Amino acid sequence: MSSRRLLRLQMIVSIGLLVGLTLGFLLGVWLVSYGLLELLETGALEVVTVGSAALLTVVAVAGSGRLEALLAFPVVWLAIYALAVFTAPSSQVLATIGSTSLLAAIATLEYRQVGTIERAADAVPVEPDNAPSIHRTATRVAALYDVPVPTIAISERDTPEAMAVGLRPRNVHLVLSLGTVRALSDAELEAVIAHELAHVANRDAMVMTAASVPVVLAKGIRTHLDDDTSGTVVAVPLVFVASATALLGRVVTAGLSRVRERAADRAAAEATGSPAALASALLTLDERIDETPSRDLRAVSSVSSLSILPLEDDTVEKLMLGPDGDVEPSYWWLRKRLQRLSNWFFRTHPPTTSRLESLQALENEHR
């Protein structure tokens, strides 16, 4: 099987797993809601309608950013209650209303709390006149992919960052750090830009955003219910369902992310006609990341999954103990293996050595 077909098969399998996980998560939340309603027996109608009205009011406040939206609570509750009384709902209908309201509130809260990537990357949009070489290169590469020319945003950080931000091609910002621009030659920078715009052409932002829905919802439920000490009957089963979904979702989305990175590598190599340029760029940036202090990597960890290379240290630091510094930490062998296992499951990028090997194979095909 060719590498192109293998990538396509891996993507199809990953998307299938994510769809199944999403449906399973929604079913789990619904079953918990239904089970609790059956336990309540009496008063379920009031509990569900009041709870749904409160959650929808939270959504309204979060969406508008205005506390005055709290005044809508009695109106929302009366509307839901009147509809429920009129339709004489069963426990199944009430469970659907309650779980839908919960998920809508969690989704709104989670996405409202996420800041823009540019702010996280500390990048500022620049005019073409202020970065003419980068703009010319981006324009040329965008034409190859038939996508709109992105807005160029530059970060003054020395950490080697490169990412394309934006769900729709028309609104994409190409974020580059000065560390990246200074480290690369013109050909290498063109290859990096080609890799990032390949993500735009492949609609990877939309794919990964859709793929992250179950993980975001599950993390939101877990975060907001972990501190719930007033009703453990409600919190425990939902937190269990959310934790299992978040864990499995991270594994699958990380796998899908690795597939998309390989696809972008291949597309960039074909667009520029030089797999060697991208390989050289990856090697240079990887070396720069290894030389970057851990504190600087922690500062950009929030955008690590979006950059061309992961901006985080995936190794466990070994601190020797004892008066002479010759005593190995307890269970060091176990910690190393657990870290390797975590990298294998949750790594968002393929290992750089593996990417270089794939690019070398493409270079050999072009000769």
Q: Kindly report, residue by residue over 194-233, the tens digit of the pLDDT.
A: 999 999 998 888 788 777 777 777 777 777 666 554 455 5
| 19/213 Cα distance (integer angstroms) | 10
Q: Do 309 and 282 contact (CB within 8 A), yes or no? A: yes
Annotation marks residue 196 as catalytic: yes
When pLDDT is averaged across residues 67-94 and rounded to a whole number, the result is 65
Q: For position 169, what pLDDT does the model report? A: 80
Instruction: Return the higher-pLDDT residue of 262 and 166.
Output: 262
State the pLDDT at residue 268.
94
pTM, entire model = 0.73
Residue 226 is classified by DSSP as: T
CA distances from 308 to 108, 146, 162, 225, 247 (A): 29, 21, 6, 35, 24
Distances (CA, A) of 130 to 78, 150, 208: 57, 15, 32
State residue 35's pLDDT score. Answer: 67
Supply the pLDDT for residue 41.
Answer: 56
d(CA 121, CA 140): 25
What is the reported pLDDT for 114? Answer: 41
* The pair of three-digit structure tokens given for residue 305, joined into one six-digit string: 């999954």
Confidence band of 74 (pLDDT split at 50, 70, 90): confident
Determine phi and psi for 239, rounding to 5 degrees: -65, -40
Tokens for 45? 């109608």
- Which is the catalytic residue, given 118, 196, 261, 312? 196
Q: pLDDT per residue over 6-17, tens digit each?
A: 767 777 777 777
Q: Is the pLDDT of residue 115 over 50?
A: no
Torsion of CA 242, 243, 245, 249, to 10 degrees: 130
Give yes or no for residue 333 having a pLDDT over 70.
no
The torsion angles phi and psi of 29, rounded to 5 degrees, stand at: -60, -40
Alpha carbon 110 to chain centroid distance?
Answer: 12
pLDDT of the residue at 64: 58
Question: Cα–Cα distance between 118 and 165 in angstroms, integer?
Answer: 8
> What is the percent of the chain where pLDDT is above 70?
65
Helix H or strand E segment including 143: helix 132-145
CA dihedral 10, 15, 20, 22 (to 10 degrees): 140
In this structure, the strands spanning 173-177 and 151-155 are: parallel
| Distance between CA atoms of residues 363 and 367, nearest Å | 7
Of 199, 267, 240, 229, nearest to 4 by C-alpha is 267
